[in-house]
Each structure stands twice: as C-alpha cells, then as structure tokens.
Amino acid sequence: MAMEAATIEKLIKDGIPDAAVEIADLRGDGDHYAALVTSAAFKGKSRVQQHQMVYAALQGRMGGELHALALTTAVPDNA
C-alpha cells in the first residue's frame, strides 16, 4: 500500500520537530519519493547518523508502506 507524502512529512516532523521537510513524488505512484530534510538537530552528526534519525522518525515504514525514498539531509545555515 502506498504512503501519502503528507504522512511522510508528518512522521518526520513528529520525530524531528524543528525539521523543514520537502517531499517530491518521483513517479506519481505514491511509492517513490525524494525528501529534503533540514534540521539543526543534524549539526555535528555524520550523514549516516542524519539519515538514521530520519529513518527512525519513519517508525519502520521504510521498505514496507514506503517503498523508496531518495533522502537528502542538511543543517540550516543559521544553526
């Protein structure tokens, strides 16, 4: 079952409250998304740790309800 972009955004924001989240449905099928997640919580963390934080926020849905996510993380300039 496909996951709505709004659900992905909500899960990420619930898990990383200060996150700015941009979601794009890459194929229009609700299964292949790209996400840009920007958060001060990523400061000082490796890219792998940043991605792990996002995956944790998705609460195990990656690979199930959420088939594919091209993930980009960033720290805001003012952090």
For residue range 19-65, list pLDDT tens digits in order. 999 999 998 888 889 999 999 999 999 999 999 999 999 998 887 77
Rounded Cα–Cα distance for residues 56 and 15 (Å): 8
Contact call for residues 36 and 26 (beta carbons, < 8 A): no
**CA angle at residue 9 from 8 to 14, to 5 degrees?**
100
What pLDDT digit, counting tens, does each position of 52-63 carry?
A: 999 999 998 887
Q: CATH for 5-74?
A: 3.30.300.90
Which structure tokens are listed for 75? Answer: 């720290």
pTM of this structure: 0.90
Contact call for residues 42 and 74 (beta carbons, < 8 A): yes
